[in-house]
Amino acid sequence: MFGFLVNIFDIFLYRPLFNFLVLIYNYLPTHDFGLTIILVTIIIRFILYPISVKALNSQKVLQLLQPKIEEIQRKFKDDKEKQAKETLELYRKEKINPFSGLFLIIIQLPILIALYRVFWEGLKPEALNSLYNFVVNPIHINAMFFNVVNLSKPNFTFAVLAGIIQFFQTKMLAPKLNKKQAKEANMASIMQKQMLYIFPVITIIILLKLPSALGLYWIVSGIFSIIQQYFIFNKNKGAQPT
């Protein structure tokens, strides 16, 4: 069963991504692997754009609803069942899915795993023998980015940059609380604030052990997300949920 799932993963995700990466690499005049990753990352993010917009719109409404959610939690602090029921009713009324952001992460996880395999195994000459017939075998892929960074090896600078971008990306998604709300913050709000610092640290630790090609993907994807979040969160900024 596990072998079957691995084969499905290879056929529908790993091999298409690997072949697409090589195809872009072949057509770039400079044959720069870093530029190839940047282009592939942007294309992937545009493919996921409709899903991410929906998730960010839900997150935006959640931010606006935070005072009402806090009010429900205070009003029914001794009745967790009623608290959950009223919160779900609020979500239903505003037509939002609080798990949409998690859904976006779940979708991107297989892509990250596939890219990890591409960057870890795809640079080996023997891996190029599994290319589609219409993709020209480049014989060798130069893993250098502007002849400065070897993307097949871990890179401290890329890992730290990815962590910093992860911090600002997460910070933009965090609910904006005034001083009074911050003092009355419940356990969920406190944990969310802790995640603001924990996620970037975890990102750095992970990327310090992986090919910096994955770090470059993380950086470009994060910058794309920050720009996207900025425009979505500032669109109709004064609008309030009913």
Q: Render each residue's pLDDT in the chain as its tens digit; 242 residues.
A: 777 777 888 888 899 999 999 999 999 998 999 999 999 999 999 998 988 888 888 777 777 787 788 788 788 877 788 888 888 888 888 877 766 666 677 777 888 888 888 888 877 888 888 899 999 999 889 999 999 999 999 999 999 999 999 999 888 876 555 555 555 455 555 666 677 788 899 999 999 999 999 999 999 999 999 999 888 878 756 555 55
User: The dihedral of CA 9, 12, 13, 15: what is its sign?
Assistant: positive
In 76-178, which residue ranges form alpha helices assigned H by DSSP? Answer: 80-94, 100-121, 156-173
Token couple for 50: 């409709």
The reply to whether 239 falls in a domain is: no
How many whole angstroms separate alpha carbon 31 and alpha carbon 24? 9
The reply to whether 240 falls in a domain is: no
The reply to whether 99 falls in a domain is: yes
Nearest CA among 4, 36, 42, 7 for reference residue 19: 36
Answer whether 178's CB lies under 8 Å from 106's CB. Answer: no
160 alpha-carbon distance from chain centroid: 16
Q: Which domain holds residue 181?
A: 2-234
The reply to whether 49 falls in a domain is: yes
pTM of the model: 0.83
The reply to whether 242 falls in a domain is: no
Domain count, the chain: 1
The reply to whether 130 falls in a domain is: yes
The reply to whether 241 falls in a domain is: no
The reply to whether 129 falls in a domain is: yes
